[in-house]
Amino acid sequence: MASLSQFLLFFSFLFCLKNTFPVLGFQSNFALFPVAKDAATLQYVARISHGAPLGSTDLVVDLGGSFLWMDCNSGHVSSSYRLISSCSVNCSRAKFHDLGSTSCLLNTNCYVSPYNGVTGSTSVGELVEDVIAVDSVDPSDVGQSTTVDHFLFACASTFHLQGLASGAKGMMGLGKASISLPSQLSSSIGHPQKFSVCLSSSTGVLLTGSGDTVFGTKIARSLAYTPLITKQNDYFINVQSIKINGRRLAVHEHGKLEAKLSSVVPYTTMVSSVYAIFSKAYVEAATKMNMTRVETVAPFGLCFSSKGPLVPEIDLVLQSEMVKWRIQGRNSMVKVSEESMCLGFLDGGLEQSSPIVIGGLQMEDNLLEFDIGSSMLGFSSSLLLKETTCSSSLQGFQAEAIYLIYLYPFSTFLPFLLCVCKGKLDGCNL
């Protein structure tokens, strides 16, 4: 049990960090959005605060979205939002990656094309600007808000909400476009051109800027990296090969398998020719592990008895054999009843534009860092192997502080604490 001095030291440590970290720039360089999974649609929903007075709006997270759009009529009504002119610089920025018209007419509003990534439909909406408030990440006081003025987004019709989670009033675009959420916050707040996503079956997190402060340096430094390819606004990675329980699948005739990362697709889908090879190999591996096939449940193509703890391991081999995205049971299987579970990989059909679309289930409890500036994707593979989850990531900093206090005796830690309180963190050593 901790002594009274250790507890006093812990709270003193947090107090000192609260005064030290703003000097180091941590307080204003990050923005955090909790992300909840909707049980009915399996979509990931984030909440944004905006307008005057400040109000909250729930938005479905879309990794490939060009910008943030919402129904401005049925949700929170703001008195501070302003229409953007069609001849303005901001209108040109919005239309750089937009398929809408680039024409400019004096005294007219700027119209863009909000895209519903769930239904695949596009509508027409007005570009507007308003104030938003985001949670800054100060390790000693998570939840402090930072205001961002002149944030650009689009207003869409209520009809365009079709297919979205109940209560969601639009979509939060995280693509590479200049007015996507990460791009705007990067230029407004001044943090690096990167964002991190850690999805969860319960509550995950979206973080713009570096994720070290929230997820901890141990996890952040353990990330593997692979080149990130962008096409229009979507993010892709190249998959050199696929392995199941270490056995390479014969998909080499397809060459490099481009894999799109999607937060609006619940399960990974593969073009039919690749899925046929994949599903056959998975059944063979499952049979060797004495797994019993059971009747399939839509939309899944393969289902098994849930008896037994082990299922085949799936590896997406990226730029080399040393860089693999490993997918294990929690991220590959979906429990459909007390007796059965189904493989969360689906046949995407003959016409699927990308050979592989990596869906939400496979990304859950996997820290993904999208480094736009260097065009690299960092990934942790399952955090469960590191004895943590996305939902517990916000407790990471506090856990590290407690660990230091327990690891070092009071007499050793006290000089370090005094050094930190003087604002000399770089020169403080344990």
pTM, two decimal places: 0.83
At what angle are helices 410-421 and 4-24 packed, to 10 degrees? 30
Q: What is the dihedral of CA 422, 394, 190, 426, to 10 degrees?
A: 30
The greatest distance separating any two alpha carbons of the chain, rounded to the nearest whole angstrom, comes to 72
* Topology agreement, domain 29-211 and domain 224-384: yes
Q: What's at 23, amino acid-wise? A: V
Q: Are 161 and 36 a contacting pair, CB within 8 Å?
A: no
Q: Are 383 and 365 a contacting pair, CB within 8 Å?
A: yes
At 84 the pLDDT is: 95
Let me know how many helices (H) and strands (E) the chain has, helices first.
10, 29
Rounded alpha-carbon distances, angstroms, from residue 392 to 142, 200, 202: 14, 10, 10
Closest CA to 139 of 419, 380, 379, 425: 425
Chain center to CA of 161: 21
List beta partners, residue 192: none
At 109 the pLDDT is: 93
Rounded alpha-carbon distances, angstroms, from residue 167 to 51, 63, 335: 18, 20, 26
* One-character DSSP codes across 380-425: EEEGGGGT--STTGGGHHHHHHHHHHHHS-HHHHHHHHHHHHTT-G
Closest CA to 26 of 297, 209, 235: 209
Tell the residue number behind the tokens 């534009």, with chain if given: 353
Query: For domain 224-384, which architecture applies?
Result: Beta Barrel (2.40)
Tell the residue number behind the tokens 């690749």, with chain if given: 274
Q: What's at 201, amino acid-wise? A: S
At 213 the pLDDT is: 64
Tell the residue number behind the tokens 């030290």, with chain if given: 20
Q: How open is the CA angle 69-367-266, to the nearest 5 degrees?
A: 55
Distance, first Cα to last Cα, the chain: 22
At 223 the pLDDT is: 92
The domain defined by 29-211 folds into: Cathepsin D, subunit A; domain 1 (2.40.70)
Rounded alpha-carbon distances, angstroms, from residue 216 to 36, 147, 220, 269: 21, 25, 6, 32
Closest CA to 189 of 145, 128, 141: 145
Rounded to an integer, what distance in angstroms lies between the CA atom of residue 310 and that of residue 308? 6
At 190 the pLDDT is: 78
- Residue 254 — φ and ψ, nearest 5°? -85, -5
- pLDDT one digit per residue (tens) for the chain, 430 residues: 444 444 344 444 444 444 443 333 334 457 889 999 999 999 999 999 999 899 999 999 999 999 999 999 876 778 888 999 999 999 988 887 554 555 677 789 999 999 999 999 999 999 999 999 987 655 444 456 788 999 999 999 999 999 999 999 999 999 999 999 999 998 888 778 899 999 999 999 999 877 666 777 778 788 999 999 988 889 999 999 999 999 999 887 766 799 999 999 999 999 999 999 999 999 999 999 999 999 999 999 999 999 877 899 999 999 999 999 999 989 999 999 999 999 999 999 999 989 999 999 999 999 999 999 899 999 998 888 777 888 876 555 434 444 444 444 445 545 555 554 444 444 455 5
- The radius of gyration computed from the CA coordinates of the chain, to the nearest angstrom, equals 23
Alpha-helix residue ranges (DSSP H) falling in 25-135: 89-95
Q: Are 66 and 60 a contacting pair, CB within 8 Å?
A: no
Upper half-sphere CA count for residue 144 (Cβ side, 13 Å):
14
At what angle are helices 396-407 and 4-24 packed, to 10 degrees? 130
Domain ranges of the chain: 29-211, 224-384
At 211 the pLDDT is: 65
